[in-house]
Amino acid sequence: MTARTTTTTSPAPANAAGASYTRVEGRDKVTGAARYAGEIPYADLAHGWLVLSTIARGRILSVESDPVREMPGVLAVLHHGNAPRVDSDYVGMLGKPDPIVEVFQHDRIPFVGWPVALVVAETSEQAREAAEALVVRYEEETHDVAFSSAHPGTYTPDGDGMLIEKGDLEAELAASTHVVDHEYTTPEEHHGSMEPHAAMARWDSGRLEIVDSNQGSGWVADELAKLFSLDPDSVRVRSEHVGGAFGSKGVRVHQILAVMAATQLDRPVRVVITRRQLFSLTGYRSPTAQRVRLGADADGRLRAVDHQAHSLTSTVHEFVETSAGFGRPMYASDAHRSVNRVVRLDVPTPTFMRAPGEAPGSFALESALDELAEKCGMDPIALRARNEPDVGPVSGLPFASRNLLAAYREGARRFGWADRDPRPGVRREGRWLLGTGTASATFPVIVAPSTAAVTAEADGTFTVRVNAADVGTGARTALTLIAAEALEVPRERVHVRIGDSDFGPAAISGGSMGTRSWGWAVRVAVTELREQLALGGDIPPQGITVRSDTSAAVGALAQKERHSFGAQFAEVGVDVATGEVRVRRMLGIFAAGKIVNPLTARSQFVGGMTWGLSMALHEEAHRDQATGGHVGADFAGYHFAANADVPVIEADWVEDTDADDPVGIKGIGEIGIVGAAAAIANAVWHATGVRHRNLPIRPDRVLSAGGALDA
Amino acid sequence: MREFGYERASDVPGALALLGAAPDARVLGGGTNLVDLMKTGVERPGLLVDVRELPLDRIEVTDDGGLRIGATVTNSDLAVDPEVRRRYPALAEAVLAGASGQLRNMATVGGNLLQRTRCGYFADLSKPCNKREPGSGCPAVTGEHHNHAILGATEHCVAVHPSDMGVALAAFDAVVSYETAEGTGELPLADFYLAVGSTPHLETALPSGALITAITLPPAPVAARSRYRKVRERASYAFAIGSIAAALDVRDGVVHEVRLAFGAVASRPWRAWAAERALTGGPATAEAFAAAADAELAAAQTLPDNGYKVTLMRNLVVALLTELTEEASR
């Protein structure tokens, strides 16, 4: 890894949040002692292997399972004709469930890669061989997987935040000295984690136990209980270590099918989703086509911001990539319109993927602002400063804290922005044209009610139980530090247990809300525990446990614009003869509240920025129009940045406090990716004089764009 | 899992006997491509004949000053060999441009020549592919083809050969030596790969049951000043979208000798004979380089999404030959 961070661990109080600590489970992870859901051994474990549809639309005529059932080791072939019925008519944490939970409930095929059978066998190899031998016959219908903003099926969904309007947009555009009006596109992108989705299910003394890899064990347990009409207390989901999630690890077919098979066979069954299968089964980021219109006075003051974002969803579920929401807290403007539109196609349902909405939305709007700066003859940072709002530009609400400009000031200083020649296409170093670019980042500060239990043990240690998920972010370590700080004890005396639905309700690891939500509950419990301990007396053998629930406190939070902000900087080289773009350095300065553990926080920021680089230059799933399925659905075909693509990436932060906030922690999981692709695209323009409005900025696109390349 | 046999051969006759006895046998070198394809079901051999322990792992200078490279020499060893680096630097650069350190440690020279295309349709059993399933069709022609062939392709197949090493070998007139139960044989690399025609599943002229034993590079003083450039969609761990091996001998501003081969433009490493003819004896200028590239690429047949490769290869010819010219004048 060539990414380098700027600040090394500095001496700090031994038990304070704010000093840098390696992960408490780090040694277990690097030695292999930490076990993941797909590799934990169980006695009598059977293995399920998925069979997916090869057509994009139609129905199943037959699943010819008889020959397969005779194959070695095969225990069962589950499909729509014999699977247990589930009740999908419920409202879960995120509303009505994605109808993928209706797996094996009907004969309809809504996309390539829909599960049509699960072969269960004594070994994973036997299950796979039988699954690959299984013949499924279909009645095929014509499909439509062609996404564009001009698709006649496009509509504006009902629901909050789909369309926001303020002022007279057309009048302000007409009165503007400078207008930018372009369409920006981003392709279908995937969040395949290092660790595949895997779940083991078994019945144990009347309880259903699932060992899973997820972003919220309570969430999964709750939905499984509803689906299988079980008493919520009879379902336990655990997920101790998670090798990446990024929005993809919620309720998916592997858990459901493991439960079905375990129930039918009355033995433990594990289902693992393979790398190729995840491309249709675990969600993805929709492609987007976004028209942005900006109108400004000669001095750069915005009169109009219009952001029309298009994305796709499946025919069976409405998921909207809300790219148009990015600009709502960002810039003052007399008129504002932002609308998210969607079209239903014969494709899998997209889902939340790191910075849903903000990642593609920032590419479009922050690219457009760079184009506006060019038109106004202004420095891009000065343009943003000119339009800095006092209150929420659309909502009128006060900001809880807003330190975007502070991030820009610090970033510009460290990046050397002041020395930048604004002219495009004038810097050359050997075969490389060089350029620099910048863009803003933001992500909302979200919090969800959580419960936590903190136990003062008789041996002087403390045990924290909170149903958090550490998806690789370092959440377990951050919670250890938060508890230790609140308890005022060395962190070695604090043991944090997470990833167990029996620990009670808690926020999921998503929306950058985890540490804020769980940390709040832990602090409340610690405060009460310390009050009890202050009364004196011995600690009984079972310890003293205090439970907290932040539901009321979360509900009482004042309405404000709560966001993290950031300033992204990038320098690129573009080979004019080959179209290759290489990022030379990146810097991100963030204003993201209290940073609990600088070491892992920096990893989060740098990881997000790296993903932004990958989004700018590499990532793109290719959908074959003829079959409706992917071409090259694996990590050889789906390119993301390799180590050699990742240069020096620095991430740091500025002071960002809100005295009124009960937690102070804002959440940092997503903001690192936001704006990073725009900063790179803006740098490519600065290098070559050519705007790239379609991601990824592939060599063929750079070559075909012409312009300064002929220089 | 599907069962298959595995035998480790200790000498060439033993390997040939195993290959001759089982029509569905495949030679296993490093397995970096074959094993992947077995996992996905694209390749389903009944027997693997592991040849990594055969005594074919030497690189020797031949009597006439060329090199003879054993078939089981690993890519890693090939790339660091002092004679390769001195006599054919573009070959070392090409090998190092491919794969990753771990893969190069495993991959063999013989296997490199026989690796299969990375066309996404070829790799996906759920889709048609004439190369994998003759007569089933080629969806790439109207589908995803932005990294497919512009030279020598037909409507039956537009896949490209993925090798970097092979491009340098093509530039340097490599000859492939093989053995069969009947005896030994040789195939110039130019004749090693078959034209696509209507039979893209037939890829090489190797006789059935043959084992590649060595690759011979004839002496080529021009190769001492040679270079390989690979363009790809990320800086590492990706196949080329266009690559070039170039060697140039300029004397008094005139091209005395030139070698050019292209990668990722055809079903085989593409020797740019027309460009070489256009350049030889003419001025070593950017204009001449561009005209030579145009001469070679005049035969290009592009699809809607791969036309950029014509520009790319033209630019690469000019860029590399210019660099080599400037180097020579220093």
- What CATH code is carried by the domain that includes residue B298? 3.30.390.50
In angstroms and rounded to an integer, the radius of gyration of the C-alpha atoms of chain B is 20
A618 touching chain B per CB within 8 A: yes
- Does B29 fall in a domain? no
- Distance between CA B178 and CA A587 in Å, rounded? 55
- Does B72 fall in a domain? yes
Tell me the mean pLDDT in the region A228-247: 97
Q: Are B124 and A631 inside 8 Å of each other by CB?
A: yes
- Does B11 fall in a domain? no
Q: Are residues B211 and B66 in the same domain?
A: yes
Q: At what angle do helices A598-617 and A358-376 cross, to 10 degrees?
A: 70
Q: Are residues A585 and A704 in the same domain?
A: yes
Tell how far CA B308 is from the center of its chain: 21
Q: Are A629 and B2 inside 8 Å of each other by CB?
A: no
**Helix H or strand E encompassing A563:** strand A563-575
Identify all chain B residues contacting A625, using CB atoms and an 8 Å cutoff.
143
Both tokens of A188, joined, read 């279908």
A residues 52-111 near B, CB within 8 Å? 54
Residues A581 and A573: beta-carbon distance below 8 Å: yes
Q: At what angle do helices A676-688 and A358-376 cross, to 10 degrees?
A: 30
Tell me the mean pLDDT in the region A382-386: 98
Both tokens of A542, joined, read 């079972």
Residues whose CB falls within 8 Å of the CB of residue B317, separated by 6 or more in sequence, listed in order: B244, B246, B260, B272, B275, B289, B290, B292, B293, B296
- Distance between CA A374 and CA A691 in Å, rounded? 11
Identify all chain B residues contacting A640, using CB atoms and an 8 Å cutoff.
234
Both tokens of A395, joined, read 């909502």
Q: Considering chain A, what is the average pLDDT of its residues?
A: 95
A632 touching chain B per CB within 8 A: yes
Q: Are residues B212 and B232 in the same domain?
A: no
* Domain end (from B182, B198, B217): B217
pTM of the model: 0.96
**pLDDT lower than 50: segments of chain B:** none
CA angle B291–B292–B295, rounded 5-degree value:
90
- Does A334 fall in a domain? no
- Distance between CA A495 and CA B238 in Å, rounded? 44
Laid out side by side, the sheet with A494-497 consists of A494-497, A462-465, A451-456, A544-549
**Helix H or strand E encompassing A677:** helix A676-688
Q: Note down the domain range covering A528.
A: 26-34+448-555
- Does A131 fall in a domain? no
Identify all chain B residues contacting A633, using CB atoms and an 8 Å cutoff.
124
* Domain end (from A517, A535, A555): A555
- Evaluate if residue A377 carries a pLDDT over 50: yes
Report H helices in A134-252: 169-175, 217-227
Q: Are residues A639 and A567 in the same domain?
A: yes
Q: Are B233 and A639 inside 8 Å of each other by CB?
A: yes
Report H helices in B218-304: 273-279, 286-297
Minimal-distance CA residue of chain B relative to A72: B1
Tens digits of per-residue pLDDT, A616-634?
999 999 999 999 999 999 9
- Distance between CA B263 and CA B91 in Å, rounded? 13
Residues B53 and B9: beta-carbon distance below 8 Å: yes
Tens digits of per-residue pLDDT, A279-315?
999 999 999 999 999 999 999 999 999 999 999 999 9
Q: Is the peptide bond before A696 cis (omega within 30 degrees of 0)?
A: yes
Domain count, chain A: 2
- Distance between CA A672 and CA A564 in Å, rounded? 10
Q: How many CA atoms lie within 13 A of A338 on its CB side?
A: 26
Best of A703, A704, A709 to substitute, by most chain B Cβ atoms within 10 angstroms, is A703
CATH of the domain at B203: 3.30.465.10
Q: How many CA atoms lie within 13 A of B278 on its CB side?
A: 19
Q: How many CA atoms lie within 13 A of A512 on its CB side?
A: 30
- Does B120 fall in a domain? no
B311 touching chain A per CB within 8 A: yes
- What pLDDT is attached to residue A16? 55
Percent of residues, chain A, with pLDDT higher than 70? 97
- Evaluate if residue A710 carries a pLDDT over 60: no
Q: Are residues B190 and B264 in the same domain?
A: no
Report H helices in A538-578: 551-555
What is the four-CA torsion angle of B23, B24, B29, B32, rounded to 10 degrees?
A: 160
Tell me the mean pLDDT in the region A308-324: 97
A578 touching chain B per CB within 8 A: yes
- Does B185 fall in a domain? yes
Minimal-distance CA residue of chain B relative to A130: B1
Q: Confidence class of residue A418 from pLDDT cuts 50, 70 and 90?
A: very high
- Distance between CA B90 and CA B224 in Å, rounded? 8
Report H helices in chain B: 12-21, 34-40, 75-80, 82-87, 89-97, 101-106, 109-114, 165-171, 189-192, 273-279, 286-297, 308-329
Burial of A273 (0-12, 13-18, 19+ CB in 10 A): buried
- What pLDDT is attached to residue A17? 61
Q: How many CA atoms lie within 13 A of B217 on its CB side?
A: 32
Q: Are residues B97 and B166 in the same domain?
A: yes
Identify all chain B residues contacting A698, using CB atoms and an 8 Å cutoff.
146, 233
Q: Are residues B211 and B85 in the same domain?
A: yes
Q: Are B308 and A703 inside 8 Å of each other by CB?
A: yes
Q: Are B311 and A631 inside 8 Å of each other by CB?
A: no
B144 touching chain A per CB within 8 A: yes
Q: Are residues B102 and B175 in the same domain?
A: yes
Q: Are residues B300 and B276 in the same domain?
A: yes
* Domain end (from A555, A584, A601): A555
Q: How far is CA A470 from CA A220, A663, B2, B26, in A?
A: 15, 19, 38, 45
Minimal-distance CA residue of chain B relative to A112: B126
Both tokens of A78, joined, read 């589950």
Å between B236 CA and nearest CA of chain A: 6
- Distance between CA B111 and CA B97 in Å, rounded? 17
Q: Note down the domain range covering B205.
A: 59-114+161-217
Other CB atoms within a 10 A radius of the CB of residue B55 amount to: 11
Other CB atoms within a 10 A radius of the CB of residue A423 amount to: 10
Q: How far is CA A287 from CA A16, A187, A296, in A?
A: 43, 4, 29
Identify all chain B residues contacting A132, using CB atoms and an 8 Å cutoff.
41
Minimal-distance CA residue of chain B relative to A71: B1
Å between B33 CA and nearest CA of chain A: 12
Best of A631, A639, A640, A680 to substitute, by most chain B Cβ atoms within 10 angstroms, is A631
CA angle A329–A330–A332, rounded 5-degree value:
100
Three-class secondary structure of residue A434 per DSSP: strand
Minimal-distance CA residue of chain B relative to A705: B308
Q: Are B127 and A627 inside 8 Å of each other by CB?
A: yes
Three-class secondary structure of residue B153 per DSSP: coil
Domain count, chain B: 2
A625 touching chain B per CB within 8 A: yes
Tens digits of per-residue pLDDT, A556-583?
999 999 999 999 999 999 998 999 999 9
Identify all chain B residues contacting A127, using CB atoms and an 8 Å cutoff.
none
Q: Are residues B197 and B238 in the same domain?
A: no
B241 touching chain A per CB within 8 A: yes
> How much helix, strand and coil, in percent to the nearest 5, is found in chain B?
35, 25, 45
B residues 33-72 near A, CB within 8 Å? 41
Both tokens of A477, joined, read 């370590």
Q: Are residues A609 and A490 in the same domain?
A: no
- Distance between CA B184 and CA B178 in Å, rounded? 6
**Would you name the residues of A annotated as active-site residues?**
670
- Distance between CA A691 and CA A705 in Å, rounded? 9
B315 touching chain A per CB within 8 A: yes
Q: At what angle do helices A217-227 and A253-265 cross, to 10 degrees?
A: 50
A250 touching chain B per CB within 8 A: no
- Does A657 fall in a domain? yes
Q: Confidence class of residue A13 from pLDDT cuts 50, 70 and 90?
A: very low
- What are the backbone dihedrals phi and psi of residue A679, each rounded to the nearest 5 degrees, phi first? -60, -40
- What pLDDT is attached to residue A3? 41
What is the identity of the amino acid at A288?
T
Q: Are residues B180 and B313 in the same domain?
A: no
- Does B295 fall in a domain? yes
- Does A311 fall in a domain? no
- Does A433 fall in a domain? yes
Percent of residues, chain A, with pLDDT higher than 90? 94
Q: Are residues A627 and A671 in the same domain?
A: yes
Both tokens of A528, joined, read 């009460």
- Distance between CA A390 and CA A661 in Å, rounded? 19
- What pLDDT is attached to residue B115? 97
Q: Are A577 and B316 inside 8 Å of each other by CB?
A: yes
- Distance between CA A60 and CA A108 in Å, rounded? 7
Tell me the mean pLDDT in the region A160-187: 97
Number of cross-chain residue pairs from A and B with Cβ atoms under 8 Å apart:
101
DSSP per-residue codes, A9-46: -----TT-BTB----TTHHHHHHT-S--TTT---TT-E
Q: Are A639 and B121 inside 8 Å of each other by CB?
A: no
A703 touching chain B per CB within 8 A: yes
Q: At what angle do helices B286-297 and B308-329 cross, to 10 degrees?
A: 140
- Does A592 fall in a domain? yes
* Domain end (from B191, B217, B243): B217
A618, A624, A633: residue with CB nearest B143: A624
Q: Are A627 and B139 inside 8 Å of each other by CB?
A: yes
* Domain end (from A504, A534, A555): A555
Å between B219 CA and nearest CA of chain A: 31
- What pLDDT is attached to residue A5? 40
Q: Are residues A567 and A633 in the same domain?
A: yes
Residues whose CB falls within 8 Å of the CB of residue A699, separated by 6 or more in sequence, listed in order: A578, A579, A580, A581, B231, B232, B233, B241, B308, B312
Q: Are A644 and B139 inside 8 Å of each other by CB?
A: no
Q: Are B236 and A645 inside 8 Å of each other by CB?
A: yes
Q: Are residues A422 and A515 in the same domain?
A: no
CATH of the domain at A422: 3.30.365.10
- What pLDDT is attached to residue A7? 42
Q: Are B234 and A645 inside 8 Å of each other by CB?
A: yes
Q: Are A624 and B231 inside 8 Å of each other by CB?
A: no
Nearest to B179 by CA among B201, B203, B208: B208
Q: Are residues A607 and A680 in the same domain?
A: yes
- Evaluate if residue A165 carries a pLDDT over 60: yes
B2 touching chain A per CB within 8 A: yes
Q: Are residues A586 and A483 in the same domain?
A: no
Q: Are B318 and A580 inside 8 Å of each other by CB?
A: no
Other CB atoms within a 10 A radius of the CB of residue A118 amount to: 27
Both tokens of A534, joined, read 């202050």
- Does A459 fall in a domain? yes
- Does A585 fall in a domain? yes
- Does B283 fall in a domain? yes
Task: Look at phi and psi of residue B253 and say left if phi exceeds 0, alpha if psi is from -120 to 50, else beta.
Answer: left
Q: Are B235 and A579 inside 8 Å of each other by CB?
A: no
